[in-house]
Amino acid sequence: MDGELTRMTAADLAAAIAAGDVSAAEVTEAHLARIEEADPRVRAFLHVAGDQARAAARAVDERRAAGGELGPLAGVPLALKDVFTTIDMPTTCGSAILDGWCPPYDATITRRLREAGVVLLGKTNMDEFAMGSSTENSAFGPSHNPWDLDRVPGGSSGGSSAAVAAFEAPLGLGTDTGGSIRQPGAVCGVVGVKPTYGGNSRYGVVAFASSLDTPGPLARTVLDAALLHEVISGHDPCDSTSVDAPVPPVVAAARQADVSGMVIGVVPELGGEGIQPGVLAKFNESVELLESLGAKVTEVSCPHFSYALPAYYLIAPSEASSNLARFDAMRYGLRVGDDGTHSAEEVMALTREQGFGAEVKRRIMLGTYALSSGYYDAYYGKAQQVRTLIIRDFEAAFERVDVLISPTTPTTAFRLGERVDDPIAMYLADLYTIPADLAGNAALSVPCGLAPEDGLPVGLQVMAPVLADDRMYRVAAAVEAALDARRGYPLLNDARGLA
Amino acid sequence: MPGSSTAAELVSYAEAVTRYEPLIGLETHVELGTVTKLFCGCPAAFGGAPNTHTCPVCLGLPGSLPVPSRTAIEYTIRIGLALNCSIAEWCRFARKNYFYPDMPKNFQISQYDEPLCTDGWLEVTLEESELGAYGGGAGGPRTFRVGIERVHLEEDTGKSQHMGGATGRIHGADYSLVDYNRAGIPLVEIVTKPVEGTGALAPAVAHAYVRELRDLLRALGVSDVRMEEGSLRSDVNTSLSPRGSGRWGTRTETKNVNSLRSVERAVHYEIERQAAVLDGGERVIQETRHFHEESGITTSGRSKEEAQDYRYFPEPDLVPLAPSRDWVEQIRSSLPELPAARVARLQREWGLSGVEMVEIRNAGALDLVEQTVAAGAAPADARKWWLNELARRANDTGAELTSLPITPGGVARVVELVASGTLNDRLARQVIEGVLAGEGTPDEVVAARGLAVVSDEGALGAAVDAAIAAHPDVADKIRGGKVAAAGALVGAVMKATRGQADAARVQEMILARLTQS
C-alpha cells in the first residue's frame, strides 16, 4: 500500500483522504518512509520535518473526523524549497551564511499551504540563493536526478523537482527567476510552472532578484500543478508587487485539456544553435501532436529574445547585489571574526567572504559593477530597455497567437560536474526560459517524451500572456493526456535511476 | 591676514561678507507623525525599550517585503502642496546602497531622481530686529523667497550607540549597540535650491527658513517637530564666491544641525572659516562637516571626494507611486491656514509688533500663546509669561515649551489672578513654580502655599507704620519732597510681609502718610 500511495497523484490522494479510503497520517508516513529509502541517493531534502508533518496530517484527519471541510489538497504532502521562510524549520537558501537560521515568521505561501491542510515534509535543496541550474551551487552538496543519479536535477529548484520525480512527494514548490522551476521540471520529467509575476506572493520568499522571482508548483501531472497553483495564488497585501486580480481558472483549464481551435506560435529564436538533436526531435513531435489535436500552429518571431540572456545577467545580479547586502552577520546567520580583534566592517567582510559561495560572489560583483556610477546607463539602464523590447515582442506575438511554445531547455540533464567550471555553459541552460521571466508573463514546462540518444526527459515550454495562466494549462494538459494515452503509462515509470 | 591664514583661523564676519558673496542651501529631514512606520505596521512612536518596535519588515529579515503607508505618502504630498510644489504623476522609490550596522537591509529605501514633489518655494520674512545683527535693519522687514528643489519620502535608519573608545564613533569603540526602533520611521527630506542674494543676511535667512518650515510642518499636522529629539534635522550647505566673480564657490555640507540657533551659527561660522581659507589662497574642500553646539565651530567630517557610490536603482519590491489628481486636489483642499497667513492674522488681532510675533515664533510658542489668549488672557500678558518665565524654565531643563507640565488654561488663570490683584508678578512666578512641580492647578497652589497678596488695610497699615518708624531718615527725605525715596520703605514692607503685599498699594499708603498732596 505504501508504495502505491507514493505513486498516486495529488488529486487522487486528496480524493482518497476526503473519502476516508486512506488517512492523511498514512499518506504522510508512506512519503516519510520513501524519503528515508530514496533520499540518501537523491539528496533532495536539506531538512525533513517528520514530527511537524505527522502533526499536520493528524490535524487534517481530525478535521475530517469532526466533519470539517477539507480543501482540495488537504492531507497531501509537499516538498518546500528552502527559500520559503518557515517558522518551525530552518531556512538556509542553500547557503552557509544562513546555516541554522530559523525565521520568526512563515512566508505567505507557507501559511496558505498550512491553512489548506497541505503537509510540509521538509525543505529541499537548491542552488545557493537560487543562483544556478544544477543545485551544484548549494553549500550542502548537490541533489541527484532520479533518472540518472550521475546527472543534475536542474536548478535552482532541483531539490523539489528531484523529490517529486523520486516519488518522495507528489508536490513541490519552487521559485523561478530565470527558469528555476521549468528547467528542473524539464530535466526531471515533471511539470514545472512559473505563474504570472505577481500572481503568487513573494512575502517570505528570500529574494534573489525581486522583479523576477516567482514562486510556483512542481508536480507529476498538469492537474496536480493546477490544484497547487490555486491553493497558493491570489493577492497578498504584504507584497506590493502582488497582483490584485482574480486567480486565472487553471484547474478548470487543466481539466479541459483541449486545444482545438487554439492558435499556437512557435518562436524560432528559441531552439536554434546548440540544441540537442533529441530535444529538437521531441519538440517537433509535440508540434505535430498539437496540430493533430486541432490546434493551428504558426511561426512567430520574437527578434529581441536573443538579447534576453545578457539582459538577464545584468538585471538579476544587480538586484541580487542589493538584496544580498543584508547578510552581514549583524542580526542573524553566520558570524566570522567576532573575536574582539576585528571591527564591525571587518566582521561583515570576513562573514561574506566565508559565507557566500563562488557563484553568489560572482553575481554580487557583476551587479555591483553594473549599478556603479558611470556604468549604470550602459549596463543596468540598457538591460531594462532590452526588457521593454522583450515585453513588446510578447505583446505583439500574443496579438496573433493564444500561446507560444518552445523547448524548455536546449539539452537534457547534464552530468554532475560537467559545467561547474564553465559559468557560461551553465547559464545557457536557461536560454529559453529567461524571456518569460523578464516579461513577467506565465510559462510552464510539461514533459514531452524522452530524447532518443540518452533516454532522458525533454520539456515542452508553453508561454501565455500575463494573467492568462489558464491557457498554458489547457495546452499542457492536452499534450500530457495524448502522450500518456499513446504510451499507456506515466512517463516517470521509465525513470530508472533508483531502480 | 592673507598669506598667514590657516583653516583654523577666521576672518571677521563683516570683512568676510564685504569680500565674498555667500550662497546657502538646506536639506532638512523631518520625521513624520504617522502612527505606523513607513513600510510596516510597527508603531512609529519615539522611544520605547530598544528593539521593541520591530518586526520582520523593519528588521529587514530575509524574505520580508515593504508595503508603503498611504498616510505617509499623503503627508508628503501635503508638505509638497504647502511648499507650492508640483506633485509627480508617477514616480518611484529607489534603493540607496551602503553598509552600516544600523541599516537593517544595508540599503535605504529612498527616492532618487524621481521625487514625489518638485519645484516649489517658501517665503520667509526677517524682522528688523533680526536684520540688525548683520548690519541691516533700516527700512523694515525683508522677505526672501526660498526655492524648493524637491520633497521626497524615505525610511529612517536604526540608531547606533558606540560604547567605549574616545570618539563616540564606531571606529575605536569597544562595542556598539543598535536599536532598530527608529528603523523604518517615515522621513521626509526637503531640499532647497541654492539661496542667492542673501548677502550678509545668509545666517539669518537660514534661521528664518527653518523656523518657517518648522511652523509649516506643525500647522500641516504632519509632524510634531520635536527638534530636541532630533525629529527635524538640517544639513546646511554653505559656499563663498568672491564678490563680482559671477561663479559659485566650493560648498561644504554641515550635517545634522538640530536647532534654529545652531543653523544660524553654523552658517555664520562657515562664512568666517571659508573666507579665511580663501584669503589664504587655499581651496575650500568639498566635504561634510560637523557642528559643535558648545564651541559653535564646525569640524571636518568625511571628504566628498572619498564619498561612497550609493548605486541607486529603482526599488524592485515596490510598484511606482502614481497619486491620482483627484486625490492630490482633495489633499490640497484640506490644507489648513498656513503659518504666514496665520501669523499675519494673529498679529492683527492681538495688536503686537512684528518683532514680538517673531519672538513668539522663534520660541515655538505661537500655539501656546493663541490657546492662552483663547482661555481669556490679554495677548501681551500671554506673550510675556510664555516668553519670559516659562521659556527660561524650559531652557533650564532642556525641554520644549510644549512639554512643560502647565496648560495654556493654567497660564491664563495666573494672568487672571494677577489682573484681579490676587497675585503680583513675584507671587505669580511662585504659583507657576508650584504648578510645574506638580502641586496642582494655580488656584490649588495659591491655597496650599498661602500666596495671595495681603490687601487687608489694617494689617498693611501696621506694616507701613512700622517701616516708617524704623527708617526715620528715609521718612524725612520723603517729607522733604524726595518721593523716589519711598522705594526703600516699600521694600521694607514687602520684606516684612514676605512679598505678599500689593506693592502699588503700599506705595500709595506711604505717600498718603508722609506727603500733603
Q: What is the pLDDT of residue B135?
A: 65
Chain A environment of B106 (Cβ under 8 Å) = 325-326, 328
Distances (CA, A) of A298 to A325, A408, B74: 46, 18, 51
Distances (CA, A) of B162 to A253, A294, A324, A499, B257: 61, 73, 26, 62, 20
Candidate from B99, B101, B319 with C-beta closest to A240: B319
Cell of residue A59, nine digits = 490535524
Q: What is the pLDDT of residue A370?
A: 96
Chain A environment of B65 (Cβ under 8 Å) = 202-203, 238-241
Q: What is the pLDDT of residue B137?
A: 52
Candidate from A326, A368, A380 with C-beta closest to B60: A326
Contact yes or no for A138/A128 (Cβ under 8 A): yes
Q: What is the pLDDT of residue B455?
A: 65
Any CB–CB contact under 8 A between A197 and chain B? no
**Do the Cβ atoms of A344 and B317 come within 8 Å?**
no
Q: Which residue has the cell 529541499?
A: A124
Cell of residue A242, nine digits = 502582488
B291 Cα to chain A: minimum distance (Å): 26
Provide the greatest CA pair distance for chain A. Answer: 72
Catalytic residue among A23, A133, A160, A180: A180
Annotated catalytic, A194?
no
Chain B environment of A318 (Cβ under 8 Å) = 313
322-341 in chain A: CB under 8 A from chain B:
322, 325-328, 330-332
Any CB–CB contact under 8 A between A104 and chain B? yes
Question: CB count, 10 Å around CB of A67?
Answer: 6
Q: Left, alpha or beta for B130 (phi > 0: left; psi -120 to 50: alpha)?
A: alpha
Chain A environment of B95 (Cβ under 8 Å) = 322
Chain B environment of A331 (Cβ under 8 Å) = 59-61, 104
Cell of residue B192, nine digits = 532647497
- Mark B464-484 as b/e (b = at least 16 C-beta within 10 Å): beebbeebeebbebbeeeeee
Q: What is the pLDDT of residue B6?
A: 44
Q: DSSP characters for B15-46? A: HHHHHEEEEEEEEEEEE---SB-SSSSSB--S
Candidate from A101, A240, A328 with C-beta closest to B106: A328
Bridge partners (DSSP) of residue B25 are B237
Residue A286: closest CA among A52, A484, A460, A93 = A460
Helix, coil or strand: residue B147: strand
The secondary structure of chain A, three-state, reads: CHHHHHHCCHHHHHHHHHHCCCCHHHHHHHHHHHHHHHHHHHCCEEEECHHHHHHHHHHHHHHHHCCCCCCCCCCCEEEEECCECCCCCCCCCCCHHHCCCCCCCCCHHHHHHHHCCCEEEEEECCCHHHCCCCCCCCCCCCCCECCECCECCCCCCHHHHHHHHCCCCCEEEEEECCCCCHHHHHHHCCEEEECCCCCCCCCCECCCCCCCCEEEEEECCHHHHHHHHHHHCCCCCCCCCCCCCCCCCHHHHHHHCCCCCCEEEECCCCCCCCCCHHHHHHHHHHHHHHHHCCCEEEECCCHHHHHHHHHHHHHHHHHHHHHHHHCCCCCCCCCCCCCCCCCHHHHHHHHHHHHCCHHHHHHHHHHHHHHCCCCCHHHHHHHHHHHHHHHHHHHHHHHHCCEEEEECCCCCCCECCCCCCCHHHHHHHHCCCHHHHHHCCEEEEEEEEECCCCCCEEEEEEEECCCCHHHHHHHHHHHHHHHHHHHCCCHHHHCCCCC
Alpha carbons B60 and B183: distance in angstroms, whole number: 9
Test mutation, A326, A373, A375, chain B, max B CBs within 10 A: A326
Alpha carbons B23 and B7: distance in angstroms, whole number: 19
**Do the Cβ atoms of B65 and A91 come within 8 Å?**
no
Alpha carbons A57 and A498: distance in angstroms, whole number: 27
Residues 6+ apart with CB under 8 A from B78: B220, B222, B331, B335
Bridge partners (DSSP) of residue A92 are none
Contact yes or no for A243/A196 (Cβ under 8 A): yes
In which order are the strands placed within the sheet that holds A171-176? A45-48, A119-124, A77-81, A171-176, A214-219, A191-194, A442-450, A457-464, A403-407, A263-266, A296-299
B305 Cα to chain A: minimum distance (Å): 14
Chain A environment of B68 (Cβ under 8 Å) = 240
Any CB–CB contact under 8 A between A103 and chain B? yes
Q: What is the pLDDT of residue B399?
A: 82
**Do the Cβ atoms of B63 and A238 come within 8 Å?**
no
Alpha carbons B234 and B28: distance in angstroms, whole number: 4
Alpha carbons A468 and A456: distance in angstroms, whole number: 30
Q: What is the pLDDT of residue B4?
A: 37
The DSSP bridge pattern shows strands B252-257 and B313-314 to be unpaired
Any CB–CB contact under 8 A between A240 and chain B? yes
Alpha carbons A386 and A374: distance in angstroms, whole number: 19
Q: At residue B190, what are phi and psi to the nearest 5 degrees?
A: -115, 120
Chain A environment of B178 (Cβ under 8 Å) = 330
A237 Cα to chain B: minimum distance (Å): 8
**Do the Cβ atoms of B311 and A331 come within 8 Å?**
no
Tens-digit pLDDT string for chain B (517 aa): 333 334 457 889 999 999 999 999 999 999 999 999 999 999 998 889 999 999 999 999 999 999 999 999 999 999 999 999 999 999 999 999 999 989 999 999 999 999 999 999 999 988 777 776 776 555 667 889 999 999 999 999 999 888 887 666 777 778 889 999 999 999 999 999 999 989 999 999 999 999 999 999 999 999 988 887 788 999 999 999 999 888 889 999 999 898 999 999 999 999 999 999 999 999 999 999 999 989 999 999 866 555 689 999 999 999 999 999 999 999 999 999 998 889 889 999 999 988 889 889 888 899 999 999 999 999 999 999 999 999 998 888 888 888 899 999 999 999 998 988 788 888 899 899 999 999 999 989 888 887 777 767 777 888 888 888 888 888 888 888 888 888 888 888 888 887 778 788 888 888 888 886 5
Test mutation, B38, B54, B99, B161, chain A, max A CBs within 10 A: B99
Q: What is the pLDDT of residue B134?
A: 76
Catalytic residue among A23, A95, A143, A156: A156
Alpha carbons A159 and A137: distance in angstroms, whole number: 12
Exposed, middle or buried, B416 (CB in 10 Å: 0-12/13-18/19+)?
middle
Candidate from B60, B68, B101 with C-beta closest to A240: B68
Q: What is the pLDDT of residue B306?
A: 58
Rg for chain B (alpha carbons), in Å? 28
Question: CB count, 10 Å around CB of B91?
Answer: 22
**Do the Cβ atoms of A371 and B313 come within 8 Å?**
yes
Alpha carbons A365 and A455: distance in angstroms, whole number: 39
Residue A363: closest CA among A195, A174, A212 = A212
Annotated catalytic, A81?
yes
Q: What is the pLDDT of residue B128?
A: 73
DSSP B227: G
**Do the Cβ atoms of B61 and A105 come within 8 Å?**
yes
Q: DSSP characters for B397-462? A: HT--GGGSS--HHHHHHHHHHHHTTS--HHHHHHHHHHHHTT--SHHHHHHHHT---B--HHHHHH
**Do the Cβ atoms of A372 and B311 come within 8 Å?**
yes
Q: CA of B107: which chain A residue's CA is closest?
A: A322
ipTM of the complex: 0.96
Residues 6+ apart with CB under 8 A from B153: B38, B72, B73, B76, B93, B111, B116, B186, B187, B188, B189
Residue A109: closest CA among A239, A253, A244 = A239
DSSP B145: E
Contact yes or no for B72/B156 (Cβ under 8 A): no
Residue B95: closest CA among A318, A12, A86, A465 = A318
Candidate from B63, B101, B106 with C-beta closest to A325: B106
Q: What is the mean pLDDT of each successive set of 10 residues along chain A, which is 499 residues long?
A: 84 97 98 98 98 98 95 98 98 96 98 98 98 98 98 98 98 98 98 98 98 98 98 98 97 97 97 90 98 98 96 98 97 93 92 98 97 94 97 98 98 96 89 98 98 98 98 98 96 92
Q: CA of B103: which chain A residue's CA is closest?
A: A326
A325 Cα to chain B: minimum distance (Å): 6
Chain A environment of B97 (Cβ under 8 Å) = 321-322, 325, 371
Any CB–CB contact under 8 A between A348 and chain B? yes
Q: What is the pLDDT of residue A132?
A: 97
Q: CA of B108: which chain A residue's CA is closest?
A: A322
- Mark A221-246 as b/e (b = at least 16 C-beta within 10 Å): bbbbbbbbbbbbbbebebbbbbbeee
Any CB–CB contact under 8 A between A208 and chain B? no
Q: What is the pLDDT of residue B2?
A: 38
In which order are the strands placed within the sheet that holds B142-155? B86-87, B117-126, B142-155, B186-192, B20-31, B232-242, B252-257, B287-291, B298-303
**Alpha helices, DSSP H, located in B116-227:** 128-132, 202-220
B158 Cα to chain A: minimum distance (Å): 13
Annotated catalytic, A260?
no
